[in-house]
Structure 1
Amino acid sequence: MRKQYSAAALLMLGTLASTTAQAQDAMRIQNKIIGPDNQPEMVVFNAAGKASYKAADAAVVLRQELGLTTEDQMLSVRTEADQLGFTHQKFSQYYKGVKVEHASYSVHAKGGAVESISGDFEKITALNTTPSLNEAAALAQALASVGARKYMWQNAAEEAGLKRQENNAKATYAPKGELVIVRDTRRGENGPMVLAWKFNVYASQPISRANIYVDARSGEVVLKDDIIKHAAATGTFATAYSGSRSLANSTATGGYSLREGTTRGLGIETYNAKKGNSYTAAVDFIDADNNWTAAEYNNANFDNVAGDAHFGAQATYDYWKNVHARNSYDNAGAKIKSYVHFDDTPGDGVGYENAFWNGTVMTYGDGATRFRPLTSMDVVAHEIGHAVCEKTAGLVYSNESGAMNEGFSDIWGAAVEAYSVASLGAVSSGVKAKSTWLIGEEIDKVQVALRSMSDPNSLNQPAYYKGLKWYTGTGDNGGVHTNSGVLNYWFYLVSAGKTGTDEKGVAYSVAGLGITNAAKIAYRTESVYLTSSATYASARTASITAAKDLFGAGSAAEQSVTNAWAAVGVGAKYTPPAAIVYCASKGTSVAYEWIDYVKLGTLARTSAADAGYYNGTALAAPSIGAGTSQTINFSAGYAGTAYTEYWEVYIDYNQNGVFTDAGELVVSGSSASAATLAATFTVPTTAKTGNTRMRLVMSDASATTSCNSYNYGETEDYTVNITGGAAIAGVSGGTINGLTGNASLIGNEAARTLEVYPNPATDAVRIVLPGNAEATMVTVTDLRGARVSTTTFSNGTLNVSSLARGMYTLTVSDGQKTFHQRLVKQ
């Protein structure tokens, strides 16, 4: 049945209103990545874009940036929050109410403002969405293309087992057709979009499961997207591969079973398929005293591998939870069920040489001539990695997206194996030792391993995009187990680092980040930015963005990720961005006052006048942690009279070269004191990690901003190093000696602020004392210090119409305190 959605359920996103809107939109964009189909794959917004696009404006953002028509709709699928403070709202694309397979777009927001959007949008025009082939006929074509001897829905026991598992009396393995729009991949990765029937076909003999897409007009199968990813062979009790392990399990009739309760999500369970292919016929492994010894289980039946599957699932769950804060493969605590001793053709005397995730459970064969039982740690983590991919990027299992599907599973195989050795004390107890950068090394009887991440070529995989050993045929879904070598080698380079020469003779140098940091980047790439039809080029963009999110723009991580892609033939090396040029700010004269002291953390500088501007950005940068309270000290130097000075301190928290973003004016106030002043401010948790500029401005004019040439005073610039941050959002005003907000600066005495306005003046100026106290004396002196007698003061107003143009000093007293302020007569 064709799915129908009401108008209320769909986000109807129309066309751009006008070229004016386009121009305004362009002003909001910092960077836009255009894919090979001439559609945007990622749009990053600048400060103006963030200010105008709120998280609630997701529909508006997509409408404007993707140029959607009234026939295009976006349906919100889910919204997730991450540890960096981002929210990610994911949308599926529909055309005339029909879902466009593998087309989705995400809106990434932080602090309520949209930071960027990314995804895959398919531009579709004039496509007929009425099928000429009915569901039954299309299903017949799908089944003919599979050609299985038996299907899961034909097994009554399996159907009953599914109903129990799903707690749904209507649950069935029988395929149900759904009308979708999908790309005809028979004509290449950029083939035409067609209307198709989609069926989930699960065969039991021989074993296979895939989404089959049948053209709703011609009846041809245009795409097969495997759900069971045959690893072509991938892949502790006294386990076969990881020594004697302590396993969480539970009591059962007759002893203890390999069923953990709910300490890890909804549980981890391991079953014995008894060399059969039926999940419902599988039984528990039972041990009478819960001491699963080698004498009992290291037998001709390889029963010790049940411990490997169970320990591997627990270790994999722990890895995802402890390293990536992910609760099982679906991030919702899904139960991890594993079946060992599986055989696709029972009774033939040949063990099953494979392992797979079938969309619901993990399945492991005992191997035969090529492999030992396929339950080594990296194989277990690899298969669960396929489940993670299905619940995140959903990478289509063919060509480049399929190669990356396999590559990410190898990445998780390596990462979990390294974690189990380092954190869980897993030892190597099999025929061969564990090796992080080899995949399936413990199970392979014929060669050193299935794949090498550190040297893909050695095991017939490419280490370079479309280079040596790159597969160009149609077998293995377009070489998914071969061309995954490019992603594997990229991950190895980012983790371990290396200097060398690529296949084109170009030198490269990649600084290693360690496997944990590299894995964090890979996970954010897969879970946040990649879409199901991703290519290596889009993965490059996604991973660079992930590195920036996690470690900051221009960070060692961004450089390493970028240079590693260049080393494997995808994109150019890292090029440092053009140096940020800040606006000029300088006092014209320091004849009367200047900044003579600045202190923040490890920065402490005393100075005389610096000609109106001092560039201290080359000095050692003090570190200020995101989310911490900081105290800054500073003082003015005076040639004589201590005039009222206006102080401002700015920090470019988002490192975009301006001080005008929200919260970047961190201190503001005034004082006529020569004593050391103190102010406190809080660094926002969202400030961007890394070095940035801090600017102090001291001016005699209250209107002076971060970018001014002003008459009297001085500007000083310094570098500060922000740690533990991310990117800019709002920030509240600082606290100045205990007063919240932009209060008056206070030194070692009470506040002394005199307001004189306008200044410069032509005829009259208004004088306001602190607390609106009454002025008992007002005198005016010229530059020579001579008193001027031609001015008059009455009711708070000083008449200066008789003064010649120039600069004067006002001395005002309330009978207790005396204030000095410079006055300019125009």
Structure 2
Amino acid sequence: MKKQYSAAALLMLGTLATAQAQDASRIANKVLGKDGQPELVQFSAEGKAALRGLSGDQVLRQQLGLGQADQLVQRAAEADQLGMVHQKFNQLYQGIPVEHASYTVHSKGGTVESISGDFEKITNLNTTPSLSEKTALGRAMASVGARLYKWQTNEADAASYKPTGQLVIVRDNRTENGPQVLAWKFNVYAAQPVSRAYIYVDAHTGDVVLTDNIIKHATPATATFATAYSGTRSLADETATGGYHLREYTRGLGIETYNCKKGSSYTAAVDFIDADNSWTEYNNANFDNVAGDAHFGAQTTYDYWKAVFGRNSYDNAGAKIKSYVHFDDTPGDGVGYENAYWDGTEMTYGDGASTFKPLTALDVCGHEIGHAVCEKTANLTYSNESGAMNEGFSDIWGASVEAFGVSKYSLTGKSTYLIGEEIMKAGGALRSMSSPNTYQQPAYYKGTYWYTGTADNGGVHTNSGVLNYWYYLISNGKTGTNEKSQSFSVAGLGLDAAAKITFRAESVYLTASSNYANARTYTIKAAQDLYGVGSTQEQSVTNAWYAVGIGAAYSGGTTGCGTPTSLTAGSITTTGATLSWAAISGATSYNVQYRVSGATTWTTTTSTTTSKALTGLTTATTYQYQVQSVCSSGSSAYSAIGSFSTSGGTTTPTYCASKGSSVTYEWIDLVQLGSINRTSGADGGYYDGTALNTSVAAGSSQTMTLSAGFSGSAYDENWGIYVDWNQNGTFETAERMDYGVVTASAGNLTSTWTVPTTAKNGKTRMRIVMTYGAATAACGSYTEGETEDYSITVTGGTLTGSGVATLSGNSLGNAVARNLEVYPNPGTSIINLVMPSTSPIASVLVTDVRGARVAGAVLNENALNISALAKGMYTLTVSDGQKVFHQRFVKE
């Protein structure tokens, strides 16, 4: 029977079709997960314009279709070196945390570019527990079956390890894609045998539905130190009473290495001490020389993350790296401990027994601290595919740290793509990244040696071979045939590019529940971010996943062809300009869009050549423009934005906004360069000082003086100095004159840099950004700190094209500060407070990360008992009755 529609129904269908077409036009690319929920959404130019002005949570509520019971709560906002800001949200259902579910909003210049993550669609879940917390803890302990738990030992802080339950929603991990259940979550730390894991107990049935290991295993002055695996090395240490200790504080909050004396207690561990700082006698029958390997490994790992990614320790906040060697979980049994692990707080190394030598080789150190990096970024659940990726990333960082150490120190006897080759008593290695099958690991997704059982948390040390081999392929390159008889060809990118792509995926896009399919999506996106759509890097990443059995080979991608580069503007008149760009192979035409700088809408035109003449422009006006290539298979993304100014008068570029939302604790209080000399208090997060101007000559060396002001104690601050030398209204990376983190200092800082000889003559803008706790970017809002803008007039410059000269500088000096000292930090039970003066403490206030007052901390003279506090970060506000000082601390 033929269907009949009323006029109203036809109108409704037409409206729905229009809305769907409009929605499709606003989305450039959408990738759905197995559950049908989007794991990546990239917006078109129209979509970005439609989302302008919406907050991150509004964008997610709109795009993910959240119900009344769903919440996404922002937990962090991070800026990266590409100028992008990533707002990270955790999911809640009826106010209860949904474990491993998080979503990120990626924006640039205030415009949302994409969203990514894992959103769990939950309906009609009973959130009232049937089991008590006490009963659930008994089920959790029964599943561990340890002889002795950490809170049952005689250690001073033993009571702090007693687990407390938290109600959460988590996926039942006993079957693939199991249901979401209400569960009690416990952090259970066992002492004999050693284990530490988050254990989730179904709050209705009492079943253990997931065990997420916190301990990640590798597998079942200046000192001269003769190490066991890396030759004689120069190690930073400290002078102390009785000799020299393996402690140093030039890297972050420090690197410390201790001796467990073949015991299992960290509190009973002691310093390694040497009288003359020449530690040659440590090469003894007890293998005390492995202390040098642990210390060297931690230092080299810190240096790798700092040099390659600008990351300050594993948490990018300078976290102390503590290592314990000669650890034995069952002292006195005559059998050494055959493992090494990161337990969420410190590194622990056993001496080995029948299989291993002491487990302190450089790649093992890099591997274990790699787990700490993962915990602070993607925090991949240590089970099944996400756990295999957790292990794979650690192998990747172990290999990369080892290669970095070999290059920097000319080390010998190491093989980049073998893991643990130096600790095996019988020779060989633990794993091979270049040939996983050699050590019974899969080189192909769900292929030969793929593990499908429940042991080893679902085969995390086995199935990591797929990620390892993928990394080897993009680093080294290879042409061949995989085990499914499919031919592949992967271009080698080198370790530097491979590492940058991998870490961007791990730190920006991946979430706790990500699997291998997600890893493919997000590493391709990371390659596009860093090197462009259609780039060799994107093709290599895609083809390597094809080689290991995940996804198709590269065939032009979703965008069809490469994104135009090398944009220039010439033949500029009062009302016109000619735009040019590099040719893209396979392009049949190009779309060009342009607008007045700062406008919200673009004018679009086309060209069949690699140039376009624009006419009818406004005199003395700055314009922005982008170019998109069009191929038979689709269109590329638009290029980076270029800019030019029509002639006929003086133009004032429109600069991006930059402002701190809080100046409670810190602000800029001094800027001095030439005739600019301004001291100030807090200016509400931003100060417009462009009326203040100084002249500089092209090619001249300039020294400027800066200072941070603090309401109490001084904090570490990120500084960035930018000058718009080409006067195009944007601060390019090449225009960042100086940047870096300065250790807590209220004193004057100096920055020395050279004015580019190719700078444009005339008046331009200088921007100083000082932020706490995040990398310094020229644009955007941030939580704590301040931005100040000033003017510089350049003489003798000769601008060529749109570039500027290579810059020198990055010599931000430091000074000694007078702070409230807090130690130990992190602390577990007692922390000590040392005032900058001899005045007694009059009052102490503890607040949490939300700024809410927290009860339970008890002051006794200068010692603060924090044992009653929950684990996390807090802020101390301490007064001597006249001055107020602030300091952050972490309760472990």
TM-score normalised by length of structure 2: 0.65
Q: Is 2:86 the partner of 1:88?
A: yes
Equivalent residue, structure 2, for 1:593: none
Equivalent residue runs for 1:791-810 within 5 Å: none
Q: Secondary structure at the match of 2:358?
A: coil
Kept in 1, the 8 Å contact 2:400–2:416? The answer is yes
Q: Is 2:339 the partner of 1:354?
A: yes
Kept in 1, the 8 Å contact 2:255–2:295? The answer is yes
Residue by residue over 1:441-489, the C-alpha shift from the partner in whole angstroms, topping out at 9 and shown as x without a partner, is 0001224100000000111111000111111111111110000000000
Q: Secondary structure at the match of 1:480?
A: helix
Equivalent residue runs for 1:557-568 within 5 Å: 557-568=537-548
Q: CA deviation at 1:259?
A: 0.4
Equivalent residue, structure 1, for 2:121: 123
The counterpart of 1:404, out of the listed 389, 393, 396, is 389
Query: For the pair shown, which has the larger CA radius of gyration, 1 or 2?
Result: 1
Q: State the alpha-carbon separation in 2 of the partners of residues 693 and 404 from structure 1.
A: 45
Q: CA deviation at 1:251?
A: 1.2
Q: Is 2:134 the partner of 1:196?
A: no
Equivalent residue, structure 1, for 2:511: 531
Equivalent residue, structure 2, for 1:68: 66
Q: Is 2:256 the partner of 1:256?
A: no
The counterpart of 2:111, out of the listed 97, 110, 113, is 113
The counterpart of 1:280, out of the listed 264, 267, 285, is 267
Q: Is 2:114 the partner of 1:181?
A: no
Equivalent residue, structure 1, for 2:305: 320
Residue by residue over 1:681-701, the C-alpha shift from the partner in whole angstroms, topping out at 9 and shown as x without a partner, is xxxxxxxxxx99753337799
Kept in 2, the 8 Å contact 1:521–1:543? The answer is yes
Kept in 1, the 8 Å contact 2:592–2:628? The answer is no
The counterpart of 1:209, out of the listed 175, 192, 196, is 196
Equivalent residue, structure 1, for 2:656: none
Change (3 A) 1:256 1:71: same
The counterpart of 1:740, out of the listed 651, 655, 658, is 651
Q: Secondary structure at the match of 1:353?
A: coil
The counterpart of 2:147, out of the listed 133, 146, 149, is 149
Q: State the alpha-carbon separation in 1 of the partners of residues 318 and 609 from structure 2.
A: 44
Change (3 A) 1:269 1:741: closer
Kept in 1, the 8 Å contact 2:396–2:471? The answer is yes
Q: CA deviation at 1:111?
A: 1.0
Equivalent residue, structure 2, for 1:649: 578
Change (3 A) 1:577 1:482: closer
Q: CA deviation at 1:326?
A: 1.0
Equivalent residue, structure 2, for 1:815: none
Kept in 1, the 8 Å contact 2:29–2:558? The answer is no
Equivalent residue runs for 1:224-623 within 5 Å: 224-232=211-219, 237-261=225-249, 263-293=250-280, 296-425=281-410, 427-428=411-412, 433-577=413-557, 623=566
Q: State the alpha-carbon separation in 1 of the partners of residues 614 and 193 from structure 2.
A: 80
Q: State the alpha-carbon separation in 1 of the partners of residues 131 and 547 from structure 2.
A: 48
Q: Secondary structure at the match of 1:489?
A: helix
Q: Secondary structure at the match of 2:157?
A: helix
Q: State the alpha-carbon separation in 2 of the partners of residues 457 and 97 from structure 1.
A: 46
Q: State the alpha-carbon separation in 2 of the partners of residues 487 and 421 from structure 1.
A: 23
Amino acid across the alignment from 1:418: A
Q: State the alpha-carbon separation in 2 of the partners of residues 276 and 224 from structure 1.
A: 27
Kept in 2, the 8 Å contact 1:119–1:531? The answer is yes
Q: State the alpha-carbon separation in 2 of the partners of residues 55 and 274 from structure 1.
A: 60
Q: State the alpha-carbon separation in 2 of the partners of residues 194 and 663 from structure 1.
A: 53
Kept in 1, the 8 Å contact 2:580–2:612? The answer is no
Q: State the alpha-carbon separation in 2 of the partners of residues 546 and 467 from structure 1.
A: 26
Q: CA deviation at 1:737?
A: 7.5
Amino acid across the alignment from 2:61: R
Q: CA deviation at 1:647?
A: 3.4
Residue by residue over 1:355-403, the C-alpha shift from the partner in whole angstroms, topping out at 9 and shown as x without a partner, is 0001100000000110010000000000000000011101011110000
Q: Secondary structure at the match of 1:326?
A: coil
Equivalent residue, structure 2, for 1:695: 611
Residue by residue over 1:267-315, the C-alpha shift from the partner in whole angstroms, topping out at 9 and shown as x without a partner, is 000000000000000000000011111xx11111100000000000000
Kept in 2, the 8 Å contact 1:152–1:158? The answer is no
Change (3 A) 1:327 1:579: closer
Q: CA deviation at 1:26?
A: 3.0
Residue by residue over 1:173-217, the C-alpha shift from the partner in whole angstroms, topping out at 9 and shown as x without a partner, is 1111000000001122x0000000000000001100000000000
Kept in 2, the 8 Å contact 1:238–1:245? The answer is yes
Q: State the alpha-carbon separation in 1 of the partners of residues 519 and 355 from structure 2.
A: 33
Q: Secondary structure at the match of 1:247?
A: strand
Q: CA deviation at 1:718?
A: 11
Q: Secondary structure at the match of 1:481?
A: helix
Q: Secondary structure at the match of 1:518?
A: helix
Q: CA deviation at 1:740?
A: 3.3
Amino acid across the alignment from 1:97: G
Q: Secondary structure at the match of 2:279?
A: coil
Kept in 2, the 8 Å contact 1:339–1:363? The answer is yes
Q: State the alpha-carbon separation in 2 of the partners of residues 535 and 718 from structure 1.
A: 33
Amino acid across the alignment from 1:352: Y
Change (3 A) 1:480 1:553: same
Kept in 1, the 8 Å contact 2:566–2:581? The answer is no
Kept in 1, the 8 Å contact 2:590–2:629? The answer is no
TM-score normalised by length of structure 1: 0.70
The counterpart of 2:208, out of the listed 200, 203, 221, is 221
Identity %: 65
Further displaced range: 362-371 or 171-180? 171-180
Residue by residue over 1:555-580, the C-alpha shift from the partner in whole angstroms, topping out at 9 and shown as x without a partner, is 00000000000000000001115887
Q: State the alpha-carbon separation in 1 of the partners of residues 56 and 581 from structure 2.
A: 27
Equivalent residue, structure 2, for 1:57: 55
Q: CA deviation at 1:660?
A: 2.5
Q: CA deviation at 1:424?
A: 3.1
Amino acid across the alignment from 1:229: K
The counterpart of 1:36, out of the listed 34, 37, 51, is 34
Change (3 A) 1:727 1:396: farther
Change (3 A) 1:459 1:693: farther
Q: CA deviation at 1:544?
A: 0.2
Kept in 2, the 8 Å contact 1:25–1:64? The answer is no
Q: CA deviation at 1:728?
A: 5.8
Change (3 A) 1:555 1:693: farther
Amino acid across the alignment from 1:515: L
Further displaced range: 58-67 or 499-508? 58-67
Q: Number of aligned residue pairs: give it.
A: 612
Q: State the alpha-carbon separation in 1 of the partners of residues 458 and 47 from structure 2.
A: 40
Q: CA deviation at 1:23?
A: 5.1
Unaligned runs of 5+ in 1: 1-16, 161-170, 583-616, 625-629, 636-644, 667-690, 703-715, 720-725, 743-826
Q: Secondary structure at the match of 1:114?
A: strand
Residue by residue over 1:141-189, the C-alpha shift from the partner in whole angstroms, topping out at 9 and shown as x without a partner, is 11111111111112242416xxxxxxxxxx811111000000001122x
Change (3 A) 1:483 1:693: farther
Change (3 A) 1:152 1:92: same
Kept in 2, the 8 Å contact 1:158–1:278? The answer is no
Change (3 A) 1:357 1:344: same
Kept in 1, the 8 Å contact 2:199–2:211? The answer is yes
